[in-house]
Amino acid sequence: MRKILSSVVAVAAVATMGISLASGAVCAAAQDNELSDGCKSAYLCDFASGECVYKRNENARMPIASVCKVMTLTLCFEAIERGEISADEYVRVSAQASGMGGSQVFLGEGLEYSVNELMKSIAVCSANDSCVAMAERISGSEDVFVAEMNERAKELGCKDTLFANCTGLPKETQYSCAHDVAVMFSNLIKHKGYFDYSRIWLEDFKHPDERVTTMTNTNKLIKKYSLCDGGKTGYTGEAGFCLASTAVKDNMRLISVVLGGESSDIRFADTVNLFDYGFANYENKLILDANTNIQQRAQVKGGKRDCVSVCPLRSSYVFSAKNAQPEVSQNLVMETLRAPVHKGDKVGYAEIYKNGIITDTVELVAAEDIEKSCVWDDIRKVAGEWAL
């Protein structure tokens, strides 16, 4: 049986916490500052909630060059998670893959490389040859892989995206937009293994035939902006200079996308402007602390005690303009448990609302053990009730 235990937090109480503002007005205000006037389009949002902070021509369809590798890497990580491939297995490189132009690590035809090293080279130095090698391993051919890229984009709700290859090299009928790239990049960085690659600045790529190719991260913000820990660049003459990136400060992670930059320096400068604006004007307010028990307890039947302390499985925050005062509420739903109960057992969930819209759902777990009662426990309980 489930029991709803609590709901609304008063607006006055939230006002003292300084929690967030609706995103639309904020985007309009930020746009007046021309934070990204060196690029054709841009988008800045909170990673956890997806709430927009700044937008400029965010739905304009345009080529994104190697930024399309955000989706290439996504399909690689998802194939690993499904058990279809292993990060430790080796991939034999085809003539097609080894013959790719543009950014590459110069894979040798017929040689075998680990999935881990191929994915690393895609993330760090945008290796086109590694993209095709992985596409062929996962889907059998690049064409089939690209069809899967487009299907995945649709599943993520990207309505202004169409891929024609897995590398971003110039080809007719391929495009995306700043908003869609932000969605796809946010999905990619949910894979924790991505950051094992994205933070690398300089590393040697060792070939089976003893050649060495030095990889340098194409995302210069890894070196120049201390808050940035991931990103994907792109450039062609048609696309201009593009960058999808992420930065984190305290407990808040932001996603930035700039497309069609006039130069490499401008795309990085505009991205820093966006991040600096976001961190200066927004914050994440702690609503549930994973290290603190909530006030309500869950009922326990047949235990040495009739209730158990409860805590959230993880912390929960509300994304917030620093000068905003929205209404925040919590809806706690508890299970009626039967002993024994072990610390960490799921006991229910908490729904977090901001301005009437759900922003997070957090699992609630038992914070302690409750042993099953024995006959003598029941006798003592009855005796205690008689004494009253």
Same domain, 48 and 168: yes
pLDDT band at 157 (very low <50, low <70, confident <90, very high): very high
In this structure, of 11-25, 115-129, 235-249, the range with the lowest mean pLDDT score is: 11-25
Residue 23 covered by a domain: no
Q: Strand 307-308 to strand 346-354: parallel, antiparallel, or no bridges (unpaired)?
A: unpaired
Rounded distance, CA 63 to CA 41, Å? 12
Residue 295 covered by a domain: yes
What pLDDT was estimated at residue 31? 52
What pLDDT was estimated at residue 216? 98
Q: Is 354 noted as a catalytic residue in this protein? A: no
CA-wise closest residue to 138 among 62, 222, 218, 77: 77
Same domain, 241 and 170: yes
- Where among 246, 281, 316 does a domain terminate? 281
Mean pLDDT, residues 203-208 taken together? 98
Same domain, 271 and 376: no
Same domain, 245 and 317: no
- Where among 258, 281, 304 does a domain terminate? 281
What pLDDT was estimated at residue 27? 56
Residue 25 covered by a domain: no
Q: pLDDT of 324-382, one tens digit each?
A: 988 999 999 999 899 999 999 999 999 999 999 999 999 999 999 999 988 665 556 55
Residue 106 covered by a domain: yes
Q: Using omega within 30 degrees of 0 as the cis cutoff, is the peptide bond preceding 340 cis?
A: yes
CA-wise closest residue to 112 among 125, 130, 139: 130
**In Å, what is the CA distance from 342 to each residue of 4, 176, 376?**
22, 49, 21
Same domain, 376 and 268: no
Choice among 69, 120, 232, 285 that is catalytic? 69
Mean pLDDT, residues 238-247 taken together? 98
What pLDDT was estimated at residue 17? 28
Return the axis-axis angle of helices 142-155 and 128-139, rounded to nearest 10°.
Answer: 90
Greatest alpha-carbon span in the chain? 87
Q: Is 226 noted as a catalytic residue in this protein? A: no
CA-wise closest residue to 255 among 64, 69, 73, 53: 53
pLDDT band at 6 (very low <50, low <70, confident <90, very high): very low
What pLDDT was estimated at residue 198? 98
Mean pLDDT, residues 54-74 taken together? 98
Rounded distance, CA 72 to CA 242, Å? 17
What's the whole-model pTM score?
Answer: 0.86
Residue 340 covered by a domain: yes
Element (H, E) at 4: strand 2-8
- Per the CB < 8 A criterion, the answer to whether 66 and 264 are in contact is no
Same domain, 256 and 318: no
Q: Residue 211's domain is classified under what CATH number?
A: 3.40.710.10
- For every residue of 222-248, DSSP letters joined together read HHH-TTEEEEEEEEETTTEEEEEEEEE
- Where among 256, 281, 306 does a domain terminate? 281
Q: Does residue 30 carry a pLDDT above 60?
A: no
Between residues 358 and 387, the one the model is more confident about: 358
65 torsion bin: left (phi>0), alpha (psi -120 to 50), beta (else) = left
- Any bridge partners for residue 91, and if so which? 113
Choice among 49, 94, 126, 316 that is catalytic? 126
Q: Does residue 19 carry a pLDDT above 70?
A: no
What pLDDT was estimated at residue 34? 75
Query: How many structural domains compose the chain?
Result: 2
Residue 128 covered by a domain: yes
Rounded distance, CA 35 to CA 42, Å? 9
Same domain, 130 and 217: yes
CA-wise closest residue to 320 among 79, 74, 23, 58: 23
Same domain, 300 and 247: no
Same domain, 210 and 270: yes
Same domain, 137 and 261: yes
Same domain, 65 and 42: yes
Q: Does residue 2 carry a pLDDT above 60?
A: no
pLDDT band at 147 (very low <50, low <70, confident <90, very high): very high
Q: Does residue 5 carry a pLDDT above 80?
A: no
What does the block give as tokens for 75?
A: 């399909």
Q: Residue 314's domain is classified under what CATH number?
A: 2.60.410.10
- Per the CB < 8 A criterion, the answer to whether 189 and 246 are in contact is yes
pLDDT band at 291 (very low <50, low <70, confident <90, very high): very high
Residue 28 covered by a domain: no
Residue 147 covered by a domain: yes
Same domain, 293 and 277: no
CB atoms within 10 A of CB 377: 15
Mean pLDDT, residues 70-80 taken together? 98
- Per the CB < 8 A criterion, the answer to whether 249 and 279 are in contact is yes
Residue 186: which domain range?
33-281
Mean pLDDT, residues 232-251 taken together? 97
pLDDT band at 16 (very low <50, low <70, confident <90, very high): very low
Mean pLDDT, residues 149-156 taken together? 98
pLDDT band at 1 (very low <50, low <70, confident <90, very high): low
Q: Does residue 33 carry a pLDDT above 70?
A: no
Choice among 20, 36, 66, 94 that is catalytic? 66
Q: What is the overall mean pLDDT for the chain?
A: 90
Q: Is 315 noted as a catalytic residue in this protein? A: no
